[in-house]
């Protein structure tokens, strides 16, 4: 075999024809979008949609060419992405894997630059403040919003937040960057950009506004008021399952296409983005490539968070303790699949608002099909990553609403009891160690260990569960599940 062709701009025209690639002139693109948090998800979603748009309009006008994306990493952990993308002229391959084995591949060209905030904060602030920038979008994970779990306000106890208040030009958190850039824009008489959250959080735009204004107020109340009135924060629901890239994916591109892409992205065919149409300074014509715009995204968000994401967590925790590795493995076990469907039907759906134009039965059936895609092999370790930021958003609201309405809570209670086991043992039921990554790993572990003497200690972690421990019905059901887990950690016994 020939030496693989490095993926970069100069080699684009030498790629095999079977590998789809940008035919638009990337050299004409300017940065209209600055995106903080370039991981797999951004590259399979916003960058994908934007690439589709650029491809579909062929850059016939200068207006179309204004929507290139500049990626931003704020931390050292973004270094690998920065280095690889730069080497590849910001090109990468999207590998879309269908359940029947069909694979579609495309080189995505919408990212045109990348900046590292920890190397040079001014370069990021200046780029955000540049008149060409119209949107700053974020995928910074549920935990990145710096919410004080007790008050729901901006968490001022975070040392990085305190640092940022006193060092406006050397920020560490995204809110420090946004504030510094918006200050420059206001002082320069420029309009504000839109801040577009792409994270799995209910009312992600409203939350971003609250956190950003909350931070800015600590620094400069007048600026905070300007941000509050000038910046638009559209709420949005984002969806595409994007597992972690493996060496086999890199190898696949080498053998299939003789191309050397150091960090391709794998994803499922399904893709959805529903956005409230409020933008401060214009937006790409994403509606031309199937992005949905609406006036109120709440029902879509709720449906996705409480079915898809909660469903992932249900399988993630139970499956990890059972000893499974991937979501599709769980779905191919009838017991797990039926348990998930029951959780959907009996606990999640009864407390969901109807979504106009969506048949929930169909949506749930599609989710089970998507989860079962044997070629996606989404790792349970990815799903369980930072569960302490996820469950309060994905699962706990469903429990509270069922308690208020007298609905079922048994499935959710088992998941929490299994999470307690997982947090104590960091191992599956056979004693095989599990790779647990969670900002609260230590406190979860301590609280889970303490259940030996104080059965409710885990459930009393208030920042996760609120006052669930004081709810008699919930506490009773949870204790029953905990006793069962003590009898045997074989969760399948408790799922029947």
| Burial (CB count <10 Å: 0-12, 13-18, 19+), residue 177 | buried
DSSP state of 65: G
Give yes or no for residue 373 binding ligand CS2 (CB under 6 A). no
User: CA–CA separation, 374 vs 153, rounded Å?
Assistant: 41
User: CA–CA separation, 99 vs 402, rounded Å?
Assistant: 34
Q: Which residues pair with 105 in a beta bridge?
A: 95
* Closest distance of CB 383 from ligand CS2, Å: 5
User: CA–CA separation, 84 vs 284, rounded Å?
Assistant: 27
* Closest distance of CB 309 from ligand CS2, Å: 4
In terms of CB distance, is 115 or 274 closer to ligand CS2? 274
In terms of CB distance, is 43 or 185 closer to ligand CS2? 43
* Closest distance of CB 263 from ligand CS2, Å: 18
Q: How many CB atoms sit inside 10 A of residue 100's CB?
A: 8
* Closest distance of CB 126 from ligand CS2, Å: 32
* Closest distance of CB 159 from ligand CS2, Å: 26
Give yes or no for residue 204 binding ligand CS2 (CB under 6 A). no
In the bound complex, which residue of the shown chain has the CB atom lying closest to ligand CS2?
A: 312
The dihedral over CA atoms of 338, 340, 346, 347, expressed in degrees to the nearest 10, equals 160
Give yes or no for residue 172 binding ligand CS2 (CB under 6 A). no
Q: Do residues 106 and 50 make contact, with C-beta atoms less than 8 angstroms apart?
A: no
Give yes or no for residue 383 binding ligand CS2 (CB under 6 A). yes
User: CA–CA separation, 8 vs 13, rounded Å?
Assistant: 10
* Closest distance of CB 239 from ligand CS2, Å: 4
Among 105, 200, 326, 451, binds ligand CS2 (CB under 6 A): 200
In terms of CB distance, is 281 or 289 closer to ligand CS2? 289
Binding to ligand CS2 (CB under 6 A) within 212-251 occurs at 239-241
* Closest distance of CB 493 from ligand CS2, Å: 25
* Closest distance of CB 182 from ligand CS2, Å: 28
Binding to ligand CS2 (CB under 6 A) within 12-51 occurs at none
* Closest distance of CB 205 from ligand CS2, Å: 17
**Residues binding ligand CS2: what is the number (CB under 6 A)?**
8
Phi, psi of 36 (to 5 degrees): -95, 120
Among 50, 208, 309, 402, binds ligand CS2 (CB under 6 A): 309
Binding to ligand CS2 (CB under 6 A) within 390-449 occurs at 390
In terms of CB distance, is 97 or 240 closer to ligand CS2? 240
Give yes or no for residue 330 binding ligand CS2 (CB under 6 A). no
In terms of CB distance, is 31 or 202 closer to ligand CS2? 202
User: CA–CA separation, 45 vs 381, rounded Å?
Assistant: 21
In the sheet that holds 103-108, the strands lie side by side as: 103-108, 92-97, 265-267
Q: Do residues 490 and 429 make contact, with C-beta atoms less than 8 angstroms apart?
A: yes
Q: What is the DSSP string of 319-370?
A: HHHHT--BHHHHHTSHHHHHHHHHIIIIIIGGGSPP-TT--HHHHHHHHHHH
Q: Do residues 289 and 366 make contact, with C-beta atoms less than 8 angstroms apart?
A: no
In terms of CB distance, is 270 or 400 closer to ligand CS2? 270
Q: Which residues bind ligand CS2 (CB under 6 A)?
A: 200, 239-241, 309, 312, 383, 390
């Amino acid at each position: 075999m020939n030496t693989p062709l490095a993926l970069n701009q100069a080699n684009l025209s030498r790629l095999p024809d079977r590998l789809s690639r940008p035919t638009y002139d990337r050299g004409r693109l300017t940065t209209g979008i600055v995106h903080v948090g370039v991981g797999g998800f951004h590259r399979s979603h916003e960058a994908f949609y934007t690439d589709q748009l650029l491809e579909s309009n062929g850059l016939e006008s200068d207006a179309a060419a204004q929507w290139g994306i500049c990626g931003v990493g704020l931390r050292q952990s973004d270094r690998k992405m920065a280095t690889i993308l730069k080497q590849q002229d910001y090109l990468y391959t999207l590998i879309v894997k269908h359940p029947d084995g069909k694979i579609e591949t495309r080189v995505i060209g919408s990212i045109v630059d990348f900046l590292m905030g920890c190397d040079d904060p001014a370069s990021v602030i200046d780029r955000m403040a540049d008149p060409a920038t119209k949107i700053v979008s974020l995928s910074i994970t549920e935990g990145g919003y710096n919410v004080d779990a007790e008050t729901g306000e901006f968490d001022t106890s975070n040392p990085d937040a305190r640092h940022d208040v006193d060092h406006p030009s050397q920020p560490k958190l995204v809110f420090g960057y946004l504030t510094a850039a918006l200050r420059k824009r206001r002082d320069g008489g420029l309009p504000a950009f839109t801040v577009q959250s792409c994270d799995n959080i209910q009312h992600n735009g409203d939350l971003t506004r609250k956190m950003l204004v909350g931070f800015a107020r600590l620094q400069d109340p007048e600026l905070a008021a300007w941000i509050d009135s000038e910046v638009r924060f559209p709420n949005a629901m984002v969806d595409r399952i994007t597992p972690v890239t493996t060496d086999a994916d890199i190898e696949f591109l080498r053998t299939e296409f003789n191309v050397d892409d150091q960090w391709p992205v794998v994803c499922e065919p399904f893709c959805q983005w529903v956005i409230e149409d409020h933008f401060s300074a214009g937006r790409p014509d994403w509606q031309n490539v199937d992005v949905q715009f609406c006036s109120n995204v709440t029902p879509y968000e709720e449906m996705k968070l409480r079915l898809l994401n909660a469903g992932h967590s249900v399988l993630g925790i139970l499956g990890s303790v059972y000893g499974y590795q991937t979501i599709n493995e769980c779905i191919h076990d009838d017991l797990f699949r039926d348990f998930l469907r029951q959780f959907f039907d009996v606990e999640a759906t009864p407390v969901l608002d109807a979504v106009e134009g969506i048949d929930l039965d169909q949506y749930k059936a599609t989710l089970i099909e998507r989860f079962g895609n044997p070629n996606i092999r989404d790792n349970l370790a990815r799903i369980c990553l930072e569960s302490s930021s996820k469950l309060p958003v994905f699962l706990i609201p469903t429990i509270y609403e069922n308690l208020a309405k007298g609905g079922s809570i048994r499935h959710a209670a088992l998941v929490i009891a299994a999470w307690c086991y997982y947090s104590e043992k960091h191992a599956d039921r056979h004693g095989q160690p599990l790779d647990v990554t969670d900002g609260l790993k230590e406190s979860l572990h301590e609280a889970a260990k303490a259940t030996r003497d104080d059965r409710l200690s885990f459930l009393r972690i208030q920042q996760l569960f609120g006052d669930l421990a004081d709810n008699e019905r919930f506490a009773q059901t949870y204790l029953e599940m905990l006793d069962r887990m003590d009898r045997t950690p074989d969760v399948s016994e408790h799922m029947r």
